[in-house]
Chain A
Amino acid sequence: MPSKRLNYIAIRFMPHTAAERRIAMTYEILFAGFGGQGILFSGKVAAYAGLMGDMEVSWLPSYGPEMRGGTANCHVIISDSPVGSPIVNNPTDLVAMNLPSFTKFEKTVLTGGNIIADSSLISIKPDRDDINFYPIPATQMASDMEIPKLANMIIFGKLIAVSKFATMETVRKAVEKSVPPSKKELIEVNMKAIEAGYNYIG
């Protein structure tokens, strides 16, 4: 599927002059799913990947009642200019890990943006054709690979493959930063999950 990213860059930044016609680099990513799926952790790795790539970043979690109610989401902005509002109202990239999140946020994605959905848990397709849709059976893959808690990192790998906001080398550094020092053994297994998602063709 051809990338439509350039379309929304034009829509969002409307360069007025030749000098401004550089490609504006801003990724506004919304990670959404159930509490316990590792939504906030995926967002943290994304933010660190941005930081390691010398970009400006922000990370904003949902907190309070909606977390206790079972849904979690996390707003990550990665940009080559300072981040203004840390709230992602219209994502360039949506990572949906359950059906309620998919139906809630599908409409908000910018034209030309990407929706990456866990097709093990979301059987429907987007109700629009102006975005790029990437289904990936992350939960099933995680189960097959006997890393059931790392569906979040498999789908994160697909996000990297699609949006290209960081190289895999940078992603590794980000994982090293995000995993607590007492759990270093988790670095390799996280990378294995990310690579599986990164290389997934569906």
Chain B
Amino acid sequence: MDKVLMKGNEAIAEAAIRAGCRHFFGYPITPQTEISAYMARRMPKIGGTFLQAESEVAAINMVYGAAGAGVRAMTSSSSPGISLKSEGISYIAGADLPCVIVNIVRAGPGLGGIQPAQSDYFQAVKGGGHGDYRMIVVAPSSIQEIVDSTFLAFDLADKYRMPVMLMGDGMLGQMMEPVAFPDTTGVKLPEKEWATTGTKKMRKPNIINSLYIQPDELEALIKNRWKKYIEIEQNEVRFEAEGTEDAEIILVAYGATARIVKAAIKKARENGIKAGLIRPITLWPFPSDVISAAAKKVKAILCVEMSMGQMVEDVRLSAAGACPVHFYGRTGGVVPIPADVYDEIRRYV
């Protein structure tokens, strides 16, 4: 198939449509507005629903409703908007409903800035909303991977009946790269027997709910849900490892930052420093095992993020003291440059 140049945001929207998403509810915010704009153009032509809600809170609750009716539903926003959606995400997790939430991260806290950042890692991975729940978080690093991850996000959401977040940043949302879309004609979406589609007097009513007043009942439900989370941790970890076999130092980075780190690693290798990369693609479930194994073989790990240090906490938990874990970060919308990452590498070898 012919490759076309597409912005990350447009690629997400097109991939979602091809993955069978016909219900999109959004509210504009830089740097992800192209997702809404693309959906607004395309959905009416293919019999889908695009709705610009009155607020982010409304948009996520529309997703809640559509997901309950068994359709593939999506919303997208950027950091401050995701904070507003967090209540709804918790309800969706509590009601065991599948949906995809896109966060094209910008700098925070507060309204922050509109330039790229990764300072929403904690919010995405540790639960922005309340309660005992998990959300699968996929963090692609190129526009082609954005396309592949969008399909994956919908599939995982349906498979495990839970919200999945697709996390990028302003750079990935705005940049264009060549992409090819897989042929999805004839692909059938999974049946959803639990969906509230009307009984037609043929079956008992399905009920979607996140309110359980009896502690015993709620505990049993959450414990049962946790079995699913453990299964996901065992089966759905995704990462990229490069140059780790002979590495004396391993860098850990995700998303757009991993691309900058790759340029720094290339320079380090040219100068005789054996540097490698572990790039988590799923931020939850986190690739703890591969980092734990690597930590036992290297002089040091260096975690690089566009934040003051969030994923580094999970890297340290995984390394469990087997080697020092250093951190280099830029924040507030400042993107690290390869030369600075290279200087950091040289400090620790």
Contacts and interface: CB of A to CB of B under 8 A. Distances in A.
Interface string A53-83: 0001111110111000000000000000001
A64 B114 contact: yes
A180 interface: no
Nearest to B263: A84
B175 A86 contact: yes
Interface in A36-65: 44, 47-48, 51, 56-61, 63-65
By CB atoms of chain A within 10 A, which of B30, B178, B260, B270 has the most? B178
Contacts of B337: 85, 87, 89
Given A16-B270, A64-B115, A84-B338, A59 B259 contact: no
Nearest to A86: B175
A84 B270 CA distance: 15
A89 B260 CA distance: 12
In this complex, the interface size class of chain A, counting residues with CB under 8 Å from chain B, is 20 to 34
B348 to A, nearest CB: 21
A14 interface: yes
B338 A44 contact: no
B189 interface: no
A59 B270 contact: no
A27 to B, nearest CB: 15
B171 interface: yes
Nearest to B143: A58
Contact of A65 (B114, B174, B262): B114
Contact of A85 (B4, B174, B177, B263): B263
Counting chain A CB atoms within 10 Å of each CB, which of B174, B263, B266, B337 scores highest? Answer: B174
B88 interface: no
30 contacts: A44-B176, A47-B176, A51-B3, A51-B178, A57-B177, A57-B178, A58-B176, A59-B176, A60-B171, A60-B174, A60-B176, A63-B30, A63-B114, A63-B170, A64-B31, A65-B114, A83-B259, A84-B260, A84-B262, A84-B266, A84-B338, A85-B259, A85-B262, A85-B263, A85-B337, A85-B338, A86-B171, A86-B175, A87-B171, A87-B260
